[in-house]
Amino acid sequence: MFGNQKKRPLFNKRIILPAILLFLFLLILNIPWLFLLVIIFTLTIYASRQLKRNYVIDIIFTAFSVLLCVVLIRMFAFDLYKVPSDSMENSFFINDRLIINKLSYGPKLPGDAQDIPWLGMLFKDKGKWPQVRLSGISKVKTNDIIVFRNSADPRKFMVKRCIGLPGEKLVMSNDTLFIDGRFIKSPESVKNMYNIIVKQTQAFIAYAKQHRIAFSLNENRSIDAFLTADQKGGIQCLNGFEQIRYIRIGWGFFSEKGKTSKWDNPLKHWTVDRFGPLLIPKKGTTIHLDAQNLFLYSGIIFSEDKTVMLSGSRLYRYGMLIDNYTFENNYFFFLGDNRHQSYDSRYWGFVSEKQIEGKVLLSLSVGKS
């Protein structure tokens, strides 16, 4: 029956105009490379119709087509990740599944064979491939929630909120954030920890239950609670309210980075609660290598320029002292929404553009209701 099936031409006049319009549409979106995937899918369907068919070939070709489709979608368009911690409460909870959009900033080609979805498990790690990112629909914006690779272990992924873009200067004062001198309002989901004093404890407990606020009562009758900005404002309006105070975390700024730094920390007065102004590295920006900048940016310098050598407390390239350095890549600064429970850029530093996987599009929540 299949042997007598009339072969259809691969291209005909009816599909030329829609194909041109599709290409122009993708060109406007800045993702013309996606047209190549459309051609691959078209060729796959065409080939399936031209084969001399039987039941076994149908099964094999259908399985191959489905696998190819899923691999290409996960590699170039959308992928699924699991939330590994509680650092993004109230936005996401542990073990929530996130669908990320790789088209937003442009997908990366696999860095090695193991990066190929599903098929990577069949290969052993035999070296790195050149890092190439295709064009995307948009650029990273402040407050985008992004999945990126852990710099310490590229096989692991993290999800945080971007609060610092390349070239911006960042200042944080407890629960208040400034970018280039402008106050930045926190998204509704961001929460910090506060110590609260009220005359009528029962009024607070009732409010906390109504708004599902986690809190603990101290021996001195004060209350510690994780609050969003709106919840903080609501508590200040309660009868018997007396005082609310931000609870400082107290850890030193870049404390994780400081463990491996070859320089003494000249910013010991900076903490994860209060720091800045901090320049977010931008491609093409030049900095003077004083003690502060060496502590903040030495990791980036060593990762970008393998010719730089350390001698004493100064940097040299081919025996020549380096007084200034120009960044070769763009970097970002990330925080978790659950600020007091988040291990983020305040501890380990900047995130390279190369580490970014995609923008969170949707959460398939399995966490708290």
Residue-level pLDDT at 1: 43
Residue-level pLDDT at 177: 96
pLDDT band, residue 2 (cuts 50/70/90): very low
Give the C-alpha separation, 363 to 366, whole Å.
9
For residues 2-18, give the mean pLDDT.
62
61-65, 150-154, 281-285, 293-297: which has the minimum mean pLDDT? Answer: 61-65
Residue-level pLDDT at 369: 46
Q: What distance lies between CA 273 and its chain's CA centroid?
A: 21
Residue-level pLDDT at 7: 55
Measuring CA to CA, how many Å separate 303 from each of 6, 153, 307, 316, 352?
A: 59, 15, 10, 15, 11
78 near 102, Cβ under 8 Å?
yes
pLDDT tens digits for range 20-40: 888 898 999 899 999 888 888
Q: Which long-range contacts (CB under 8 A, 24 or more apart) does 308-311 make?
A: 310/262
- Positions marked catalytic: 87, 160
pTM of the predicted structure, to 2 decimals: 0.88
- Would you call the peptide bond into 117 cis, given omega within 30 degrees of 0 as the criterion? no
Question: Domains in the chain, please, with CATH?
Answer: 13-76 (no CATH), 78-168+335-343+350-369 (2.10.109.10), 191-246 (3.30.70.260)
- Mean residue pLDDT of the chain comes to 88
pLDDT band, residue 3 (cuts 50/70/90): very low
List CB contacts of 298: < 8 A, sequence separation 6 or more: 261, 262, 263, 315
**Does 209 have pLDDT greater than 50?**
yes
Residue-level pLDDT at 8: 57
Q: What is the 3-state secondary structure (H, E, C) of the chain?
A: CCCCCCCCCCCCHHHHHHHHHHHHHHHHCCCCCHHHHHHHHHHHHHHHHHCCCCHHHHHHHHHHHHHHHHHHHHHHCEEEEECCCCCCCCCCCCCCEEEEECCCCCCECCCCHHHCCCHHHHCCCCCCCCCCECCCCCCCCCCCEEEEECCCCCCCEEEEEEEECCCCEEEEECCEEEECCEEECCCCCCEEEEEEEECCHHHHHHHHHHCCCCEEECCCCCEEEEEEHHHHHHHHCCCCEEEEEECCCCCECCHHHHCCCCCCCCCCCCECCEEEEEECCCCCCEEECCHHHHHHHHHHHHHHCCCEEEECCEEEECCEECCEEECCCCEEEEECCEHHHCCCHHHHCCEEHHHEEEEEEEEECCCCC
